Structures are given as C-alpha cells and as structure tokens.
Amino acid sequence: MALNKAEDIRHKKTSLRDVAREVGVSASTVSRILNNAPNHTYSDELVQRVFETVEKLGYTPNLSLRNALKQFEGTLPETSRRRTNNIALILEESHLDVAVPTFDPGATIIALSEIAREMGFNLLITIVQNTLYLPQPILEESVDAVILTSEVPASFVRMITAHVPVVTINTHIDGASGAQRNHVAAFRTGIEYLVELGHKEIALCYGHNNEGEKTTHEYGAIISIMKEAGIKLVPEWIQPLYCDSSVMGREASEMVRAYLEGPNRPTAIIGCDMQTFWVYHMLREQGIKIPQEISLVIVGNGSWAELCDKEITLVADPDAEMWRWVMEEAVRLVETPDRAISHIELFSRLVKGVTTAPPLK
C-alpha cells in the first residue's frame, strides 16, 4: 500500500536540519527552542511552528522531547506517571533580582525544603526564563507537584496541571490551589496604628514592579484607607516608587527630599519593605531622629527590617504560615489526586518596634 506524503516522511530518518529547513530557520534556532535554551526568546508563533514541524516530520530524539511533543498535543496520559516524592519550586529568573519587593527566594527555598523533608518529600528548584515551555522536571516526569511563585499565563498553568497539581504562593491562578497574603489589610493595620498614636500627616512609600491591574487596585485601596482615616494627603508624599534596584536609591533619595524640603514634613512614614528600608537609611543620613521627628513603619518582608540598626515597627508578612500551608497543600494533592483545589487568605501581624511614637506637639 502506498504511503501518503506525511507517512512517507515519518519513515525516513529525520534530522534537526530537516526540521530547520521546513520551518525556514537555522538548525541552532530549532535546537534552542526545543531545549528551552537560556538567554534566547522567540515568538509564540515560531515556537508553535517548530513543534508542529517536529511532530509532522517525526523528529523525536529523546524522552524529554517526546514528552514535550505529547504535552504540546495534550496527549500525555496522567496514568503514565510514577510517584517520585519530589515537588518542584518554579522560579522565574526575575525573582533572583533583589528588586522584587514581595518575595525572598532564599528564605522561601530554605523554609519549603525543611517542610518538605518533614513530610518525606524533596524540593527541586527550577528556574525558567519564559513560560512557553514545560519545565524540564515535568517533561522528565521527575516531580509529583509544582509550586509557583508568580502570576503566569493561564496556558502555562494548563500545561502543568495536565500532568501534576499546582499550588501558588501569594498569587491567584485559576485551576491551582494557592495561598495569598492580604497586602491591603496589612497597610490598614499599620495606618490604623499610626493614627492611634496621633499621626495625621503620614507619607506613603509604596513600591511596585509593574503597572498591572493588581498594582493599581492595591495602591488605590491603600489611598482610600488613608482618606477614611482622615490623613492629610500631600501628593509629593504618596507617589509610588518603581522597584528596580538600579534606580531605587535615586528614587528613594528624591522621595526623602520631597518629605523634608516642603513647607511641612510628614510625622510618620509607612511603606513597602525594600523601599522603606532605603528611605530609613537616607533619613538617618540627613540627621533625622527616628521616631522623635518621624515615625516609621515597614509593611512586608521582615528580612529588610532586620537589616536596619533599630528594631523597626513592622507589619510582618505571614511567610511561615504561608510556606507551611503551600507545602502541605501540595502533598495533600499528591496523596489525594481527586481532591478539589483550595485557596486561603492570610493576614499580617503588627510587631511594635522602637521606630514609632506619638508625634511631637
């Protein structure tokens, strides 16, 4: 029986160059796409063409690629997986930059690793540069579940959940379990404490690393809390800072100048952890006495507060509680595959330090 063209192609030994020739790119480009090579990014359209051509020509050199093709087609059966007792923590490369304000990768890795060991599991760390591909541990079927630390495209989550359950840290993703801290409620706690001390002229040191809808909503909600509390809103005191380590010092310096050079000064400052850490040190350099002249509250990651030379008043993220819930949820989903996903909202707590006091009369 005569073979059609596609079948005839499959019966030939196909090389990487054949795939490249069919797509119209170099063999090195095809290789980088198939291996998710670091420091290289390609359009979704090109990636799709490469995978479709690989399938068309029957180019499947190894197990990882065969599974990649199956996941691309959505045909990798869940029943083919074996229990590994490994859980992958997937980090985007940007999370290794200290400028990410709400995430401490070192502390997270250490805590999750310890909790995983308590429960008889191992934590594998996977760093990805983009979300067009399945991470290697999933292709190799070497993990039972995945923990994600940032918002990623829904398509990426669907690719993963087709194989293993997903649990998220501090972000909500449809189709995945997750734990989130309530950042707005944390700011409310800090603002209400300052108002209780008698402060009405409060500066907001709010940092962000994107202009997304979540950031806009969060910033607006914090401003509303300040208005409700009767705080005097001075535009120069409430401008958000961009969280980029290359410009943070300059932006924080400009913010401090705005605090100090106007006709009035704020009696207190409340802000996100890294930005307020910078502001704290610049105020000290200017000879400002804390809390006698200006009180200061940090909201967020306690590791930034620990870098200061005083015991900072802190609205501390519920990191320990979040890490434990996330790992326990991942294990529950592994051990009970039919279990429904779940979500939890966690709240920060006020830790009073020596950087807050009633305002001077």
Q: Which domains does the chain have, with CATH numbers?
A: 5-61 (1.10.260.40), 84-181+320-346 (3.40.50.2300), 183-317 (3.40.50.2300)
- Please state which of the ranges 40-54, 242-256, 301-315, 339-353 shows the lowest mean pLDDT: 242-256
- Please state which of the ranges 135-139, 170-174, 199-203 shows the lowest mean pLDDT: 135-139
Highest mean pLDDT among 74-83, 125-134, 257-266, 328-337: 328-337
Is the predicted pLDDT of residue 10 greater than 60, yes or no? Answer: no
Average pLDDT across the chain, whole number: 81
pLDDT at 133: 67
pLDDT at 213: 62
pLDDT at 247: 60
pLDDT at 167: 95
Is the predicted pLDDT of residue 100 greater than 90, yes or no? Answer: no
- Please state which of the ranges 20-29, 162-171, 239-248, 287-296 shows the lowest mean pLDDT: 239-248
pLDDT at 208: 62
Which percentage of the chain shows pLDDT scores above 70?
Answer: 79
99 band by pLDDT with thresholds 50, 70 and 90? very low
Average of per-residue pLDDT across 70-81: 48
Neighbouring C-beta atoms of residue 189, cutoff 10 Å: 19
3-state secondary structure of 267: coil
Name the more confident of 176 and 1.
176
Neighbouring C-beta atoms of residue 263, cutoff 10 Å: 5
Positive or negative, the CA dihedral 108, 110, 115, 117 is positive
Give the number of C-alpha atoms closer than 13 A to the C-alpha of residue 322, restricted to the C-beta side.
Answer: 27
Neighbouring C-beta atoms of residue 344, cutoff 10 Å: 14
Is the predicted pLDDT of residue 355 greater than 90, yes or no? Answer: yes
- Give the angle 218-240-102 at the CA atoms, nearest 5°: 60
pLDDT at 63: 42
Q: Give the full edge-to-edge strand order of the sheet including 313-316.
A: 202-205, 268-272, 295-300, 313-316, 349-351
Backbone angles phi, psi at 268, to 5 degrees: -155, 155
Is the predicted pLDDT of residue 64 greater than 50, yes or no? Answer: no
pLDDT at 132: 64
Torsion of CA 43, 125, 73, 153, to 10 degrees: -50
Average of per-residue pLDDT across 277-285: 89
pTM here? 0.72
Burial letters 157-168, b for 16+ CB under 10 A, else e: bebbbbbbbbbb
Average of per-residue pLDDT across 79-95: 77
